[in-house]
Amino acid sequence: MSTLENSANLSVLQEKVNATIKEVSKVVVGQEYMVNRLLIGLFTNGHVLLEGVPGLAKTLTINTLAKVIHLDFHRIQFTPDLLPSDLIGTMIYNQKNGNFEVKKGPVFANLILADEVNRAPAKVQSALLEAMQEKQVTIGETTFQLDRPFLVLATQNPVEQEGTYPLPEAQVDRFMLKVYIDYPKKADELEVMRRMSNQNFDDNVQQLLTKEEVYQVRDAINNVSISASLEEYIIDIIFATRDPKAYGLDKLSEYIQFGASPRASINLHRAAKALAFFHGRDYVLPEDIKEIAYDVLNHRILLNYEAEADDITTKDVINSILNKISVQK
């Protein structure tokens, strides 16, 4: 395929992605940032964790996105009494033939909305962890491969709320992005109020992307180029979270208990390429890395009690690292 044809195909796919975002905005107002991050997760095969207080359209956004892309979608409400079998399925005895049969759970879908994921007990989290990491689940003695693409889009309430529990670090690290959802702007909330007050409001959306086109976008993002110097830049950012003193960030070493894992460098690399694609380019710029770094790193840097005492947040740490480290020519 010629360069001209490649460029034309890239433009067509980018237009479809932009149209998808616009179609979701017909139902969801003022959450373009959230939709952008969810699509980055989908197109780079990475799970996404959304955190925000109830009522910020997290569930509505994911539900609407599933309709626009026309993927199999299941919503699972996580509660303290949820069992692993409620998630992955179980063996059921068939009285007619005297055999046990497998009844698959709601995790068998392309898009899984794990709603209020931090309200479930540890055994359920372990079952979800296997599905997220291995793309498979075990029921009885049989292992089943999950449908592809498979993506967990989880929402959680702030851990300060009653009845919530911090997710295990091993599970949190499996999420490619953690996105904080804030209250809408005044104009957006005014539009939301008017829409939801209208009993004739039409929340139907068109299907714009097929499963095959999702894979085409994935291939296009894989082909986005990133220079060796920018790859070194990513590595420097990640290593600065582990050994701040080596990068002249002595003060940060007092606050960081654990730095980002190798998954952070992998996901930052993939997410930066996706963001460049969304911006209409087939190459990555340093700005792409900086823009997506917060969502990739904010759940992977564990701060100590001294940071809490000095009112230092992970965002402050990431800001300091991005301001200090530059691309080596």
Q: Which pLDDT tens digit goes with each residue over 56-88? A: 788 888 888 888 888 888 889 988 888 888 888
User: Once rounded to an integer, what is the mean pLDDT over residues 267-277?
Assistant: 96
Domain ranges across the chain: 3-199+208-216, 224-324
Residue 289: predicted pLDDT:
96
How far is residue 75's CA from residue 113's CA, in Å, rounded to a whole number? 5
Residue 264: predicted pLDDT:
95
User: Once rounded to an integer, what is the mean pLDDT over residues 144-170?
Assistant: 77
Residue 4: predicted pLDDT:
44
User: Once rounded to an integer, what is the mean pLDDT over residues 302-311?
Assistant: 91
Q: Name the H helices within the chain.
A: 3-24, 32-43, 58-69, 84-88, 122-134, 169-172, 186-197, 211-222, 228-242, 262-278, 286-297, 305-309, 314-324
User: Once rounded to an integer, what is the mean pLDDT over residues 302-314?
Assistant: 91
193 by Cβ neighbours in 10 Å (0-12 / 13-18 / 19+) ranks as exposed
Tell whether the model's pLDDT for residue 317 goes beyond 70: yes
How far is residue 132's CA from residue 259's CA, in Å, rounded to a whole number? 22
Tell whether the model's pLDDT for residue 11 goes beyond 60: yes
Which of 89-93, 190-194, 297-301 is most confident?
Answer: 297-301
- Given 3.40.50.300, 3.40.50.1220, 3.40.50.720, 3.30.360.30, which CATH number is that of 3-199+208-216? 3.40.50.300
Residue 132: predicted pLDDT:
87
Tell whether the model's pLDDT for residue 53 goes beyond 70: yes
Query: What number of other Cβ atoms are within 10 A of residue 97's Cβ?
Result: 8
What is the DSSP code (8-state) at residue 109? Answer: S
pLDDT digits (tens, 9 = 90+) for 244-254: 999 999 889 99
With contact defined as beta carbons under 8 Å apart, do 295 and 238 qualify? no
Instruction: Tell me the pLDDT band of 199, cut-offs 50, 70 and 90.
Output: low
Which pair of tokens denotes residue 262? 């190798």
Tell whether the model's pLDDT for residue 230 goes beyond 50: yes
Which of these ranges, 39-48, 82-91, 305-314, has the smallest mean pLDDT?
Answer: 82-91
Instruction: Tell me the pLDDT band of 176, cut-offs 50, 70 and 90.
Output: very high
How far is residue 272's CA from residue 264's CA, in Å, rounded to a whole number? 12
Residue 162: predicted pLDDT:
60
Residue 139: predicted pLDDT:
83
- Given 3.40.50.300, 1.10.150.20, 1.10.3720.10, 1.10.8.80, which CATH number is that of 224-324? 1.10.8.80
Instruction: Tell me the pLDDT band of 305, cut-offs 50, 70 and 90.
Output: very high
Which pair of tokens denotes residue 121? 């007990």
With contact defined as beta carbons under 8 Å apart, do 302 and 293 qualify? no
Residues in the chain: 329
Which of these ranges, 91-100, 129-138, 159-168, 210-219, has the smallest mean pLDDT?
Answer: 159-168
Residue 2: predicted pLDDT:
45
Residue 104: predicted pLDDT:
87
With contact defined as beta carbons under 8 Å apart, do 181 and 50 qualify? yes
pLDDT digits (tens, 9 = 90+) for 25-36: 888 888 888 889
Domains 3-199+208-216 and 224-324 share a fold: no
Share of the chain above pLDDT 70, in %: 94
How far is residue 226's CA from residue 285's CA, in Å, rounded to a whole number? 8
pLDDT digits (tens, 9 = 90+) for 108-120: 988 888 888 888 8
